[in-house]
Amino acid sequence: MIEFRGVSKTYPGSLHPVVNDLSFEILDGEICVLVGPSGCGKTTSMRMINRLIEPSEGEILIDGEPNTAMSGTKLRRHIGYAIQQIGLFPHRTIADNIATVPQLLDWDKIRIERRVDELLQLVGLDPAQYRGRYPAELSGGQQQRVGVARAMAADPPIMLMDEPFGAVDPITRNRLQDEFLRIQEEINKTIVFVTHDIDEAIKMGDKLAILKEGGVLAQYDTPEKILAAPNSEFVSSFVGADRVLKRLSLLRVSDMELDSTNGDGDDLPRISERTNLKDALSELIGAGAERGVVVSNGDGARGTLSIETIRRLSHQAEAEQRYE
């Protein structure tokens, strides 16, 4: 668990803090996304966790211990960090880049080699083809993946990832996000993830910490709660006017209670049960239908889903949150 306790940071020579009285907890195994407009102090907040930056006030606890309990270098070897600018070592091969922390921790050679190949596989780069290359021989997106692999190398329980998918096109980014979420299911790390893209935040985060100008925490909660009930003008405009639709994108058709088919499903549009509600709604509207037949993988009809059901669900959640 990572706990921010009244953390503030004012850079020397500056009058105003860039991070202001930050207090919140990140639970083990969760992805906490720090999100907010450019310059709101996301990177600064993140770098105070592994003490690349020391807070001016307050403290950060890791598993109940202040992070100042051990030396900065020792702390950093046990926290994976993928920096915003990637920062691969140009003079070292991809394999050596990934092996950086395991080498510092004196792993034996064979174990390092095995780990490097495993990680390259994990981030979707063929080890045989890429391990011996230099960073200059990789595309920006491939470098970014190596940066993520390097951060994961020594299997640290905590990972800090500063806009790790910033340098890739939307399609690849989407794929990397999916891959990363799949990996996280297996490895269950405590992850602090920085982005300024609210859609990425909603998709990746178990919790969102929305920061505003001056490094003030505007809201800290699950994406569902934040989308249903933004606590301020700032949050509601930051998450966007389409927040109801965004919330639908968090739910899957398979999570819904479906109506029975009544045997009239032949001329209705078909929806895979793995689609999210937002896409399902879009398909229904596009097909000009009130209802659609939900099918599972094996093409078996599971029931029907109506626009009315989705509408009721959205409205209900809004109302609940409002009067909570």
Ligand X SMILES: Nc1ncnc2c1ncn2[C@@H]1O[C@H](COP(=O)(O)OP(=O)(O)OP(=O)(O)O)[C@@H](O)[C@H]1O
Binding site for other proteins (CB under 8 A): 47, 50, 52, 73-78, 81, 83, 85-92, 100-101, 104, 133-137, 147, 150
- Minimum gap (Å) between residue 224 Cβ and ligand X: 24
Q: Do the beta carbons of residue 194 and residue 205 sit within 8 Å?
A: no
Smallest separation, CB 177 to other proteins (Å): 22
Find which of Mg ion, other proteins, ligand X, none residue 75 binds, CB within 5 to 8 Å per kind. Answer: other proteins
Site for ligand X contains 18 (CB under 6 A) = yes
Altogether, the residues listed in the chain come to a count of: 324
Where do the DSSP E strands lie in the chain? 2-9, 19-26, 31-35, 57-62, 65-66, 79-82, 158-162, 190-195, 207-212, 216-221, 270-272, 291-295, 301-306
For residue 18, the partner it binds in ligand X, Mg ion, other proteins, none, with Cβ less than 5 to 8 A by kind, is ligand X
Q: Out of 2, 26, 43, 295, which residue is the one contacting Mg ion (CB under 5 A)?
A: 43
For ligand X, the binding residues in 65-94 under the rule CB under 6 A are 84
Q: Which two tokens stand for residue 115?
A: 């780990």
Using the rule CB under 6 A, is 212 a contact of ligand X?
A: no
Q: Which helix (H) or strand (E) holds 193?
A: strand 190-195
Q: Which residues have a Cβ under 8 Å from the Cβ of 160 and sit 6 or more positions away?
A: 46, 47, 49, 50, 79, 80, 81, 82, 151, 191, 192, 194
Q: H or E segment at 59?
A: strand 57-62
Q: Which is nearer to ligand X, 52 or 289 (CB)?
A: 52
Is 216 in a helix, a strand, or coil? strand
Regarding 40 and contact with ligand X (CB under 6 A), the answer is: yes
Q: Say if strands 158-162 and 79-82 run parallel, antiparallel, or are unpaired.
A: parallel
Residue 278 · residue 245 · CB < 8 Å? yes
Q: Which of 20, 43, 50, 219 binds ligand X (CB under 6 A)?
A: 43
How many residues at the interface with Mg ion, by CB under 5 A? 1
Binder of ligand X out of 17, 41, 156, 292 (CB under 6 A): 41
With respect to ligand X, which residue has the nearer C-beta, 83 or 310?
A: 83
Site string for ligand X, 183-202 (x = CB under 6 A): -------------x------
CB closer to ligand X out of 39 and 124: 39
Place of tokens 């109801």: 244
- The two tokens of residue 302 are 């599971």
- Select from 39-47, 67-75, 225-233, 261-269 the region that touches ligand X (CB under 6 A): 39-47
Residues found near ligand X in the complex (CB under 6 A): 11, 18, 38-44, 84, 196
